[in-house]
Amino acid sequence: MLTISQQVWNILTKDNVATEYLKNDLLNTSSYAKLIQPRIEALTLTKVSLGSIITSLARIKQKLNTVVVTKPKFRINDIALKLPISEIVYKKTHNPNPDLSEIYKALEDKESIHFNVVNVEDELDIFVSSSQLELVKKHMNFFKILLKEEGLSALILKYDPDFRNYPGMGSQILNALAVNSITFVECLTTYSEFIIYIKQDLANLAMEVLKDGFMT
């Protein structure tokens, strides 16, 4: 069976972003240790302390000077931030398209309004500028509200469409946030944008992490 250090090495080196962050003293090793601790314990079939993982990361960092690490090829051209954003989730009991159409019409002439819909089989997840939350609720009043959350922000990452099918694009972005203890609520992709919804108080840190990892 592999040692704790070997298991940490195997997990870390499969994550280009975390490896680069560790090599350049940017990785929060305590947070990363907490993140991978359950996996290490499952692989070693024993209780593993955070201190052991952190020590392993320190030793691995010394080795990285002699290891060629490939930097992520994916690049972000620009990052836009919109806040405050509210999320409201409805139970979908009938076709919502007529109601959504009315909302689109009402928002048509309003500038700088954010509005996104995740329409799945049984639920309708709406992200909207908080100033327009009541408008959405008015038009969707025949649907049952399952969840309402405020105080969110939308990070809109703009990238070259050539990266659309780049392997690991989304995982690189989300891993960069995870190793810095930044959790996300939802993420969406379009032809040339990757949109991440996170708590508003984490927005500035998230922008710094993503700019440093994918724009510099």
**Distance (Å, whole) CA 29 – CA 52:** 11
pLDDT of 129 reads 96
**pLDDT higher than threshold 70 for residue 70:** no
Look at the pTM and tell me if it is higher than 0.75: no
As to burial, measured by CB atoms within 10 angstroms (0-12 exposed, 13-18 middle, 19+ buried), residue 70 is exposed
Pairing of strands 115-119, 144-158: unpaired
Residues 6+ apart with CB under 8 A from 2: 10, 43, 44
pLDDT of 69 reads 47
Q: What CATH superfamily is the domain 72-216?
A: VC0802-like (3.30.2130.10)
3-state secondary structure at position 141: coil
**pLDDT higher than threshold 80 for residue 53:** yes
If you average pLDDT over residues 89-97, what whole number do you get?
A: 94
Where does residue 25 fall: left (phi above 0), alpha (psi -120 to 50 degrees), or beta otherwise? left
pLDDT of 216 reads 66
**pLDDT higher than threshold 70 for residue 71:** no
User: Domain spans of the chain?
Assistant: 4-66, 72-216
pLDDT of 73 reads 61
Min mean pLDDT across 9-13, 65-69, 92-96, 176-180 is at 65-69
If you average pLDDT over residues 24-51, what whole number do you get?
A: 91
Specify the higher pLDDT residue, 68 or 33.
Answer: 33
